[in-house]
Amino acid sequence: MASEALTLDRVDAHYGDSHVLHGVSFALGEARLLGLLGRNGAGKTTCMNVIMGILRPRGGAITLFGRDISALATEDIAARGIALVPQGRRIFRSLSVHENLLVAARRPRAEGNHPPWGFETVYAAFPRLKERQRHVAAYLSGGEQQMLAIGRALMANPRVLLMDEPSEGLAPQIVAEVMATIRRLKAQGLSIVLVEQNPKLVFEIADDIVVLNSGRVVVSDTTAALRESGVDLHQHLGIY
């Protein structure tokens, strides 16, 4: 379907002999936000890795705007308009804020539906980064490092943004700021997968929710439908 930005169709993934993803399927609609929930070890980061071509799936298909990307190299996948904000931020700690953004810059594609991202727009979105543009990234606070990781992904002018636990290790007030940023990005037309362990955060922000448990999808529905049915996601997460 043309309105789907990203789909996984029965994806299987392994690390060596260890079978980690078992027939994982889900679809991210254009300009929608999908919350991917699961406790530690459920396979969330592995999903990000197979989407980005960091780990080759052994079965199934992955499409980006209707085109199969499952056999492409990471660089070619990124060039088609998808960017990852990795778990643990992974910024270049010894480079300045500005240099971190510079290395990620990529010319916008014609089909981009928001004003293209560059230094000016990223600094306008994250004034703290502008103030600290000459600072070495290692000396930023956790929240600022997360903003830098998001800003860096935006510099590639993606149409689909994958965010792997951006709230991890941040104080509640900073988490609220990060979530407000994610809301703004969605309002600008980005299609977003937000990986989270906290169901409450996902219920507040996502249009659609997918829950992984031991590498399998155990819940996949709209947030509205899940809210209506009063489902207890903690149970599906395997928390009790």
Of 136 and 219, the one with the shorter C-beta distance to ligand ADP is 219
State the binding partner of 167 from Mg ion, ligand ADP, none, CB within 5 to 8 A by kind: none
Q: Are strands 33-37 and 208-213 parallel, antiparallel or unpaired?
A: parallel
Question: To which residue do tokens 């999903």 refer?
Answer: 47
Q: Which two tokens stand for residue 61?
A: 């298909």
State the binding partner of 139 from Mg ion, ligand ADP, none, CB within 5 to 8 A by kind: none
Task: Give the C-alpha separation, 224 to 118, whole Å.
Answer: 35
DSSP at 207: S
Residues that bind ligand ADP (CB under 6 A): 15, 18, 20, 38, 40-46
User: Using an 8 Å Cβ cutoff, are 219 and 28 in contact?
Assistant: no
State the binding partner of 41 from Mg ion, ligand ADP, none, CB within 5 to 8 A by kind: ligand ADP
Q: How far is the CB of 209 from ligand ADP (least distance, A)?
A: 15
Q: Are strands 82-85 and 160-164 parallel, antiparallel or unpaired?
A: parallel
Q: Which two tokens stand for residue 113?
A: 């539906």
Q: Are strands 59-64 and 4-15 parallel, antiparallel or unpaired?
A: antiparallel
Of 59 and 118, the one with the shorter C-beta distance to ligand ADP is 59
Question: To which residue do tokens 């990471």 refer?
Answer: 74
Q: How far is the CB of 213 from ligand ADP (least distance, A)?
A: 10
State the binding partner of 199 from Mg ion, ligand ADP, none, CB within 5 to 8 A by kind: none
Of 43 and 81, the one with the shorter C-beta distance to Mg ion is 43
DSSP characters over 64-100: ETTEE-TTS-HHHHHHTTEEEE-TT----TTSBHHHH
* DSSP 3-state of 228: helix
Of 45 and 167, the one with the shorter C-beta distance to Mg ion is 45
Q: How far is the CB of 214 from ligand ADP (least distance, A)?
A: 8
State the binding partner of 46 from Mg ion, ligand ADP, none, CB within 5 to 8 A by kind: ligand ADP
Of 40 and 173, the one with the shorter C-beta distance to ligand ADP is 40
Of 17 and 75, the one with the shorter C-beta distance to ligand ADP is 17
Integer-rounded Cα radius of gyration of the chain? 17
Q: Are strands 191-196 and 33-37 parallel, antiparallel or unpaired?
A: parallel
Q: How far is the CB of 182 from Mg ion (least distance, A)?
A: 17
Q: How far is the CB of 132 from ligand ADP (least distance, A)?
A: 29
Q: How far is the CB of 41 from ligand ADP (least distance, A)?
A: 4
Q: Does 45 bind Mg ion (CB under 5 A)?
A: yes
Which residues bind to Mg ion, rule: CB under 5 A?
Answer: 44-45, 87
